[in-house]
């Protein structure tokens, strides 16, 4: 097929997205597809081959059979680009508008998990009634985050009122919606997902940071900043619990195609942290490495995701409107 690969975007994760998109395009070509690499500039402009891309509602995108968005953060992972692709009437890899928006907003995501009694850390929204009293019960330190950003941008730990106020101020530079979370003991474990209604969960992998004390931006993207151990060095019961919860959360949020679910694991206690609908996607990123450990090579993974996009598109168009 002819597949458009979208990279770049308006968020602070622009450069990371470009690297992921280049890897996906190479993987798709290795799998036998033709690719059109589309770059979204920081100002939001779209281009392909140096030419500006124009849109016609219902007209598809550059004559492509499918689109593979490899965009991280606001403007790419939050449902906005997915909405545009719906208007263009073209199949695209990954989750739809609603699921993308739910998973991008940590507060909405955690509210949904809470309603379904999925285990997670305590949390509250900065500024909501009695939020300081709730935060005081979380222990020290707490973690303050922009609700709708990724790659650990704007995140900081806080102990005490002064640090908490500074951390909230920092987070609000990125997003008016700020979440405060309790610390979680144990190991950081991640699980990749592949599929539509009945997703496959990869072997869980353990994140070991090298460049810092926690899994911040540098640890994620700097050379040697982290080590991925597959399988995660946790008990068999905990590994199965991770996979079970990953599939459950993926389904609860209505996701499709791909996602990576992140956890805290302490002995046999497993807490869900978040779910990323467009995780980092270079050949060395966690998402692909976890499936590689399960025997799915990177080009095959890219190919399967395009096939899943076509399947979801055809199913959604089969309903009466």
Do 178 and 190 belong together in one domain? no
In this structure, is residue 73 part of a structural domain?
yes
CB 76 within 8 A of CB 46: no
Residue 151 has a pLDDT of 59
Domain ranges, residue 266: 185-309
3-state secondary structure of 186: coil
Residue 43 has a pLDDT of 95
Residue 96 has a pLDDT of 98
In this structure, is residue 228 part of a structural domain?
yes
In this structure, is residue 139 part of a structural domain?
yes
In this structure, is residue 132 part of a structural domain?
yes
Residue 240 has a pLDDT of 98
Do 194 and 281 belong together in one domain? yes
Do 148 and 238 belong together in one domain? no
In this structure, is residue 159 part of a structural domain?
yes
Tens-digit pLDDT profile for residues 263-302? 999 999 999 999 999 999 988 899 999 999 999 999 999 9
Do 260 and 271 belong together in one domain? yes
Q: How far apart are CA 39 and CA 137, in angstroms?
A: 46
CB 230 within 8 A of CB 293: yes
Q: How far apart are CA 195 and CA 7, in angstroms?
A: 22
CB atoms under 10 Å from CB of 129, counted, come to: 9
Q: Model's pTM, two decimal places?
A: 0.92
In this structure, is residue 115 part of a structural domain?
no
In this structure, is residue 236 part of a structural domain?
yes
Residue 213 has a pLDDT of 62
Radius of gyration of the chain (CA): 19
Do 190 and 305 belong together in one domain? yes
Residue 284 has a pLDDT of 87
pLDDT tens by residue, the chain, 321 residues: 999 999 999 988 899 999 999 999 999 999 999 999 999 999 999 999 999 999 999 999 999 999 999 999 889 999 999 999 999 999 999 999 999 999 999 999 999 999 999 999 999 999 999 999 999 999 999 999 999 987 577 899 999 999 999 999 999 999 999 999 999 999 999 999 999 999 999 999 999 987 666 554 554 555 556 799 999 999 999 999 999 999 999 999 999 999 999 999 999 999 999 999 999 998 889 999 999 999 999 999 999 999 999 999 999 999 987
Do 218 and 166 belong together in one domain? no
Do 287 and 235 belong together in one domain? yes
Tens-digit pLDDT profile for residues 167-215? 999 999 999 999 999 999 999 999 999 999 999 999 999 999 876 665 5
Return the bridge partners of 115, or none: none
Check the CA dihedral 295-298-303-305 and report its sign: positive
Do 229 and 164 belong together in one domain? no
Question: Of 202, 205, 252, whose CA–CA distance to 95 is shortest?
Answer: 252
Task: Please report, for the domain that includes residue 162, its CATH number.
Answer: 3.30.1490.20
Task: Please report, for the domain that includes residue 242, its CATH number.
Answer: 3.30.470.20
| Domain end point (choices 165, 182, 199) | 182
Half-sphere CA count of 80, side-chain side, radius 13 A: 14
In this structure, is residue 104 part of a structural domain?
no
Do 7 and 53 belong together in one domain? yes
Do 51 and 76 belong together in one domain? yes
Do 300 and 194 belong together in one domain? yes
| 83, two tokens | 């909405």
Q: Number of folded domains in the chain?
A: 3
Residue 153 has a pLDDT of 78
Do 277 and 209 belong together in one domain? yes
Task: Please report, for the domain that includes residue 41, its CATH number.
Answer: 3.40.50.20
Residue 51 has a pLDDT of 96
| Domain end point (choices 93, 109, 143) | 93
Q: Which helix (H) or strand (E) holds 193?
A: strand 187-195
């Amino acid at each position: 097929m002819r597949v458009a690969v979208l990279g770049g975007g308006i968020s602070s994760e622009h450069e990371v997205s470009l690297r992921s998109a280049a890897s996906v395009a190479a993987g798709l070509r290795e799998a036998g597809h033709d690719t059109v690499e589309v770059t979204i500039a920081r100002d939001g402009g779209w281009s392909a081959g140096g030419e500006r891309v124009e849109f016609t509602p219902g007209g598809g995108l550059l004559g492509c059979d499918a689109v593979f968005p490899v965009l991280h953060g606001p403007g790419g992972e939050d449902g906005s680009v997915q909405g545009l692709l719906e208007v263009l009437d073209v199949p695209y890899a990954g989750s739809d508008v609603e699921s993308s928006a739910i998973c991008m907003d940590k507060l909405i995501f955690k509210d949904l998990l809470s309603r379904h009694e999925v285990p997670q850390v305590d949390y509250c929204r900065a500024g909501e009634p009695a939020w300081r009293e709730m935060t005081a019960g979380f222990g020290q330190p707490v973690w303050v985050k922009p609700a709708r950003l990724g790659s650990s941008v704007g995140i900081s730990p806080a102990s005490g009122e002064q640090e908490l106020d500074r951390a909230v101020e920092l987070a609000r530079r990125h997003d008016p919606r700020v979440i405060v979370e309790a610390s979680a003991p144990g190991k950081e474990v991640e699980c990749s997902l592949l599929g539509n209604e009945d997703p496959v969960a990869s072997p869980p992998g353990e994140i070991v940071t090298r460049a810092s004390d926690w899994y911040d931006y540098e640890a994620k993207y700097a050379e040697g900043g982290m080590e991925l151990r597959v399988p995660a060095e946790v008990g068999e019961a905990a590994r199965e619990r991770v996979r079970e919860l990953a599939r459950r959360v993926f389904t609860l949020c209505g996701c499709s195609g791909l996602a990576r679910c992140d956890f805290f694991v302490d002995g046999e206690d497993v807490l869900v942290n978040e779910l990323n609908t467009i995780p980092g996607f270079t050949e060395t990123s966690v998402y692909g490495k976890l499936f590689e450990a399960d025997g799915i090579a990177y080009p095959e993974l890219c190919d399967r995701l395009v096939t899943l996009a076509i399947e979801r598109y055809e199913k959604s168009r089969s309903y009466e409107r």
